[in-house]
Amino acid sequence: MMLFAGAVGEAQVSVVADFCYLYSSPSFEEVVEFEGTPLKIEHADTLIVLEDDKTAEFIKVKVEEKDIEGYVYRHYVTYNVLSQEVYPVFNGRVTKNDAVIYDLNRKPTQYRGKNGQQVYLYSGFTDKDEMNAVAIVLEDGSLFYGFMETKDIAPNGVNGGLITGIVVIATCLTIIFLLLFMKKKKRH
């Protein structure tokens, strides 16, 4: 049984993966080609939903700007509804108050992050990029997919400076113990 999210062609999904491919059937077997190369759909691209059987692993979609239909893997897209049933495991945090949250098109929204607020970094954390893809829980409890400026977020985990400090201390202690051991050996 096919279930439709609204009338055909009205519902949209946005790509939350770094990229994904469009397939000619609801499987990973054959990638749709465009101008002789596999059609690669980028993060934040919007697709029109044609058919969605909620129990299937693939959704039938249309890439409007190329006028091509195909199937996309369900777990690489979201309906981008602010309320989601499943929240991701957070792996980052906001590092300043009033940090601007951007939509999937990288346009500023009225939403703001607070210092210490948890976020999910979709593509990991890259400090070389101006922005990183995030999922963040808004004040009303809904989950929002978008971007935040790299300077306003940080990944969770051990601080790189702490690791460097531990290595330096361990190296110094090793040298001290070696010198003490060598002095004791010379005395005997």
Residue spans of the domains in the chain: they are 12-78, 92-155
Fold for domain 12-78? Answer: SH3 type barrels. (2.30.30)
% residues pLDDT > 90 (the chain):
37
Establish whether domains 12-78 and 92-155 are of one fold: yes
Q: Quote the distance between the C-alpha of residue 30 and its chain's center.
A: 26
Quote the pLDDT of residue 80: 63
CA distances from 55 to 12, 42, 58, 94 (A): 18, 25, 9, 35
Model confidence at 47: pLDDT above 50:
yes
Closest by CA to 26, choosing from 55, 67, 65, 64, is 55
Q: Write out pLDDT tens, residues 137-180.
A: 887 777 888 999 999 998 887 666 667 788 888 888 888 888 88
**Residue 81 to residue 145: CA distance in whole angstroms:** 9
Quote the pLDDT of residue 72: 94
**Looking at the domain that runs over 92-155, which CATH code has it been given?**
2.30.30
